[in-house]
Copies of this chain bind each other. A is one copy, B any other.
Amino acid sequence: MEKRLERIKKHLHSQSYKLTPQREATVRVLLEHEEDHLSAEDVYLLVKEKSPEIGLATVYRTLELLADLKIVDKINFGDGVSRFDLRQEGAAHFHHHLVCIECGAVDEIQQDLLGDVEAIVERDFNFKIKDHRLTFHGICYRCHDKEKQDAENEKNTETV
């Protein structure tokens, strides 16, 4: 954790930005909630728990800065808020998401699935790919299991 913070600090310095206490607090929250796809507001509230004096605008400015530096990815699942996701270190590309349309859960797929697809796009469309966004919408394994479970329970109730 500290190591990644240190690397982000260097990354900022390399572009003549400072890792101020506010920025550090924001980055720490992101590191501690790496799985969570937090919105700016979410980040703000979590930052505030430890550093109450910090302002919402600063969090927004920090997230924007981090996105510019490609330290985080700004993503959008179509629910009116931007979410921020730490990029895997060394990952050339954005990871993918599975959004559950039942419960809203968002799971991540780190593995690169698009190698072949990208080759096709670059060749057939003469398009130089720099990044991509891939999101699947559907039913996650939890809701899937739950549905089965509910069906079971239903059956048991009937037989009582």
**Chain A residues engaging chain B, CB cutoff 8 angstroms:** 74, 76, 78, 82, 98, 101, 107, 109, 113-114, 116-118, 120-121, 125-141, 144
Contacts and interface: CB of A to CB of B under 8 A. Distances in A.
| Copies of this protein, total | 2
Contacts of A131: 136-138
B125 A130 contact: no
Contacts of A141: 125-127
Contacts of A139: 127-128, 130
A150 to B, nearest CB: 16
A146 to B, nearest CB: 13
Nearest to A98: B127
9 contacts: A76-B78, A98-B121, A101-B130, A107-B125, A116-B116, A131-B137, A131-B138, A132-B137, A133-B133
